Amino acid sequence: MKKVFLGIAAIMVLSAGFVYADMDENGDINLEKIVVTPTRMDQSDYESTSNVTVIGSREIKSSGARNVSAVLAQKAGINVYSNSSDKTNKVDVRGFADTAVNNILVLIDGRKVNSIDISGPDWLQIPVESIERIEVLRGAGSV
């Protein structure tokens, strides 16, 4: 009985080193790069076949705009209609005007931020300082 106990104890002591042999020092895991694009393929804006307007962070900062709708209003083909406050601005792309809220999808990091009702997104909830880039996709492939 004593020999069996000593044998098991020796195996446990010797195998303890194998448990930590393959551990990384920090325990960090490196994942491959994840790219989210309208075509689901990794390609530059110049290779894209869809009509895309890209507004970079440098352009956003230099515009002096206080909210997202003011940034968008500076681009050709985008009209912003103010109702009573900046919160309820209607962004019109390609002449949708009255139905613009229903025809525009706003995503932040791939998540929908449009309101559940048909009032449109709250543009003041998106801080301009935290925006890295804005992509405006026009046409059938955009929604």
Residue with the two structure tokens 């925006």:
131
Residue 9 pLDDT class (50, 70, 90 cuts): confident
Per-residue pLDDT at 51: 75
Number of H helices, E strands in the chain: 4, 6
- Mean pLDDT, range 127-141, rounded to an integer: 81
**Domain locations along the chain:** 51-142
- Mean pLDDT, range 8-26, rounded to an integer: 69
Query: What are 37-88's pLDDT values in tens digits?
Result: 655 555 665 565 567 788 888 998 998 888 888 888 888 888 888 777 666 6
What separation in angstroms does the CA of 7 have from each of 2, 13, 14? Answer: 9, 10, 11
Answer yes or no: pTM beyond 0.85: no
Q: Which helix (H) or strand (E) holds 12?
A: helix 2-20
Per-residue pLDDT at 142: 55
Q: For the purposes of burial, counting CB atoms within 10 Å of the CB of 11, is it exposed (0-12), middle (13-18) or buried (19 or more)?
A: exposed
User: Range with the lowest mean pLDDT among 11-25, 74-88, 105-119?
Assistant: 11-25
Looking at every residue in the chain, the average pLDDT score rounds to 75
Please count the other Cβ atoms lying within 10 Å of the Cβ belonging to residue 75.
16
Residue 4 pLDDT class (50, 70, 90 cuts): confident
Residue 35 pLDDT class (50, 70, 90 cuts): low
Tell whether the model's pLDDT for residue 134 goes beyond 60: yes
Q: Which residue has the higher pLDDT, 38 or 116?
A: 116
Pick the CATH number of 51-142 from 2.170.130.10, 3.90.550.10, 3.30.499.10, 3.30.1490.190: 2.170.130.10
